[in-house]
Amino acid sequence: MAEKDLGYRRVQCTGRGSYIISLPKEWVQDLDLKRGSEIAFNVEPDSTLMLVPRKIQEKEGRGNLPKPREYYISIDSKETIQSTLRMIKALYAIGADIIRVHVKNPQDAVKYKNEIKNLSRDSFLGSEIIDETPDEITLQILIKHSEFSIEKAVRRMAIVALAANRDAIAALKDRNTVLFDSVINAHKDVSRLALYIVRQLKYGIERNLYRELGFRTPKEFLLYRVAVNDIESIAQNALNIINNVDSLQKLIDEEMLFLKDPVDEEIFHQLLDFSSLAQQSYDDAIKALFKREYKDAEKLISKRESFKPLENELIMLMSSKKLDPNIASVLRLIFDSSRRIMDYSRSMAELTLNRTVEEQCSTLAYK
């Protein structure tokens, strides 16, 4: 096709932070493109953008799709199952698309393959077992990087972790097995999402795809890595609480501990109020991060100091009561968990300041 001038097109904003530009109708019709047709975007050295329909790339044998990253692991009897699982987990995190695992000793094959299947199901988002023989198993990661954004994954992580924290606290009063299972499953979900986000971040760093992943600068990769660590800690604290409540219940069931009174109502309700404040603070910090709201983040940092009197009041209240040591340890654990969530809120707000301070300063007008 001879070179043709198709004029200029205006860049438009969708209102969600994305920019779009319409394709020339004549060009679309000439190439017989339909709704849903895929077009590759290639940035040239001079910063111009080349648009190539996927069917042309494939027809000419110059498709821009990268080859799947495939890895092969051979296991002998000297290696432990846990060592093998850690290796597979690390391969997932660095962006492996296909992982083939061969077990040298046939007697160990069933045991290893079952553990690998459990790992795939419990820890990897978007993974499937695509092939299996008596001595080999193959995993493939099917989810695409564009299908589940980092921001959505972090948001989901935060929702699940905070819900786990609420259920763990509720379990102290209502020792229902449903609450126990809920916290355990939530912890697994948070770990699975965290590993997926690490995979996404590594993928973006390697290919310098920060804009494609929804970031404005490469520095935001680190910001989201810190956020993931904090959310994982919230989920882990919830699991620690539920494990302690479970131990407490076993002592009661085995008649090794006799409690004359239920959990102190005054302390429990104040802990609930304090926990609700912490969770709301963290939820607000997450919103400020995603919306890039510098002023909202600044308010949250100042607000953190206002919670100090409540912390001191709770400490004094727990100290003034004659509590069973087993109950006191769980209450203290809940208190520490809520206080950490407040600290994570402040940390998140500071990350938002770092993320947006240049934008904020660039809008200042000097006389």
In the chain the domains, ranked by start, together with CATH numbers, are 12-60 (2.10.260), 70-141 (3.30.110.20), 150-356 (1.20.58.220)
Q: Which residues contact 281 (CB under 8 A, 6 or more apart)?
A: 300, 303, 304, 307, 341, 342, 345
C-beta contacts of 325-328 below 8 A and 24+ residues apart? 326/248, 326/251, 326/257, 327/248, 327/259, 327/263, 327/264
Which residue is associated with the tokens 């991060």?
289
What pLDDT, on the 0 to 100 scale, is given for residue 124? 92
What pLDDT, on the 0 to 100 scale, is given for residue 45? 60
The residue that leads in pLDDT, 2 or 352, is 352
Least confident of 75-79, 259-263, 269-273, 285-289: 259-263
Q: Which residues contact 14 (CB under 8 A, 6 or more apart)?
A: 20
The average confidence (pLDDT) of the chain is 85
**Which range among 6-10, 61-65, 151-155, 322-326 has the greatest average pLDDT?**
151-155
What pLDDT, on the 0 to 100 scale, is given for residue 206? 81
Q: Of 197, 324, 180, 346, which is closest to residue 278 (Cα–Cα)?
A: 346
What pLDDT, on the 0 to 100 scale, is given for residue 57? 67
Chain-centre distance for alpha carbon 61: 37
The CA-to-CA distance between both ends of the chain, in Å, stands at 55
The residue that leads in pLDDT, 18 or 38, is 38
Q: What is the pLDDT of residues 88-132, one digit of tens each?
A: 999 999 989 999 999 988 888 899 999 999 999 999 988 899 999
Query: How would you list the strands of the sheet with 136-141, edge to edge?
Result: 70-75, 98-103, 136-141, 127-133
Q: Which pLDDT band holds residue 231 (cuts at 50, 70, 90)?
A: very high
The residue that leads in pLDDT, 356 or 1, is 356
Q: What is the mean pLDDT of residues 205-213?
A: 78
Q: What is the mean pLDDT of residues 314-336?
A: 88
H or E element, residue 128 = strand 127-133
Q: How many CB atoms lie within 10 A of CB 268?
A: 16
Q: What is the pLDDT of residues 48-62, one digit of tens each?
A: 788 888 777 666 554
What pLDDT, on the 0 to 100 scale, is given for residue 149? 85
What pLDDT, on the 0 to 100 scale, is given for residue 77? 74
Helix (H, G, I), strand (E, B) or coil at 97: coil
Task: Say how far apart CA 99 and CA 259 lie, in whole Å.
Answer: 53
**Beta-bridge partners for 71:** 99
Q: What is the mean pLDDT of residues 68-91?
A: 89
- Is the pLDDT at 274 greater than 80? The verdict is yes
Q: What is the mean pLDDT of residues 203-216?
A: 79
- Is the pLDDT at 367 greater than 50? The verdict is no
Task: Say how far apart CA 78 and CA 81 lie, in whole Å.
Answer: 10
Instruction: Kindly tell me the burial class for residue 365, based on how many C-beta atoms sit within 10 Å of its own C-beta (0-12, 13-18, 19 or more).
Output: exposed
What pLDDT, on the 0 to 100 scale, is given for residue 49? 81
Q: What does pTM read for this prediction?
A: 0.76
Determine what percent of the chain is predicted with pLDDT higher than 90: 44
Q: What is the mean pLDDT of residues 226-240?
A: 94
Q: Which pLDDT band holds residue 350 (cuts at 50, 70, 90)?
A: very high
- Is the pLDDT at 1 greater than 70? The verdict is no
Instruction: Kindly tell me the burial class for residue 124, based on how many C-beta atoms sit within 10 Å of its own C-beta (0-12, 13-18, 19 or more).
Output: buried
What pLDDT, on the 0 to 100 scale, is given for residue 16? 53
What pLDDT, on the 0 to 100 scale, is given for residue 356? 85
Q: What is the mean pLDDT of residues 199-226?
A: 83
Q: What is the mean pLDDT of residues 283-302?
A: 92
Q: What is the mean pLDDT of residues 206-235?
A: 85
Q: What is the pLDDT of residues 135-174, one digit of tens each?
A: 999 999 988 766 788 888 999 999 999 999 999 999 988 8
What pLDDT, on the 0 to 100 scale, is given for residue 53? 83
What pLDDT, on the 0 to 100 scale, is given for residue 341? 95
H or E element, residue 132 = strand 127-133
Helix (H, G, I), strand (E, B) or coil at 85: helix
| Signed CA dihedral, 200, 205, 208, 211: sign only | positive
Task: Say how far apart CA 136 and CA 109 lie, in whole Å.
Answer: 8
